[in-house]
Amino acid sequence: MRRVLVLNGPNLGRLGSREPDVYGSTSYAGLVERCTALGKELGFEAEVRETNDEGEMIRWLHEAADGSIPVVINPGAFTHYSYAMRDAAAQRTAPLIEVHISNPYAREEFRHTSVIAAVASGTVAGFGIGSYELALRALAAEPTG
């Protein structure tokens, strides 16, 4: 079974309690459950991780690049300013899909810029937790997925 890393940045571990009007009521545990279940259905071993630490996220991106592991990534606030994370994502050797639960373009102006998008295979945003499901399905549709 092919591995997929589902990487989550700062504050995503607080899903379900953090601004449910923006991020929905699904808990982080619920997100993990949905991603792992859909991953199995699609023939993936989806490994879901969350960190508030930029360095740890970069190490995970290096791990993915070194192992040619596809990535679904919600960088959280790192999306808008982490050039170090962008450079790590640019080293990808397998598809990398950026996801966002909300639609960044419908929110504050600072959220309209993603430093990750230019090095990602694609971006899925605005579909709630379903953004992760759409990204996993896109990976499954890849010839190498």
- Annotated binding residues for substrate, as ranges? 74, 80, 87, 101-102, 111
pLDDT in tens, 74-97: 998 888 879 999 999 999 999 999
User: Could you tell me the pTM of the whole model?
Assistant: 0.88
Nearest CA to 61 out of 3, 121, 24, 70 is that of: 70
Choose among 72, 76, 85, 73: nearest CA to 14. Answer: 76
Which residue of the set 23, 28, 81, 83 is catalytic? Answer: 23
**Which amino acids are annotated as binding site, given as ranges?**
74, 80, 87, 101-102, 111
Q: Distance (Å, rounded) from C-alpha 74 to C-alpha 98?
A: 6
Res. 60 pLDDT band, cuts 50 70 90: very high
| Whether residue 28 lies in the annotated active site | no
What pLDDT, on the 0 to 100 scale, is given for residue 109?
A: 80
What pLDDT was estimated at residue 1?
Answer: 78
Collapsing DSSP to helix, strand or coil, 49 comes out as strand
Q: Which CATH class is domain 2-141?
A: alpha beta
CA–CA separation, 22 and 34 (whole Å):
19
pLDDT at 145: 41
Q: Is position 23 annotated as part of the catalytic site?
A: yes
Which residues does 106 contact at the CB level (< 8 Å), separation at least 6? 126
Mean pLDDT of the chain: 89
Task: Identify the pLDDT of residue 26.
Answer: 72
Q: Residue 7 has what pLDDT? A: 98
- pLDDT for the residue numbered 15: 65
Give the model confidence (pLDDT) of 17-33 as tens digits: 666 565 556 788 999 99
Q: How far is residue 76's CA from residue 52's CA, in Å, rounded to a whole number?
A: 9
Tell me which of 28, 100, 105, 132 is the catalytic residue.
100
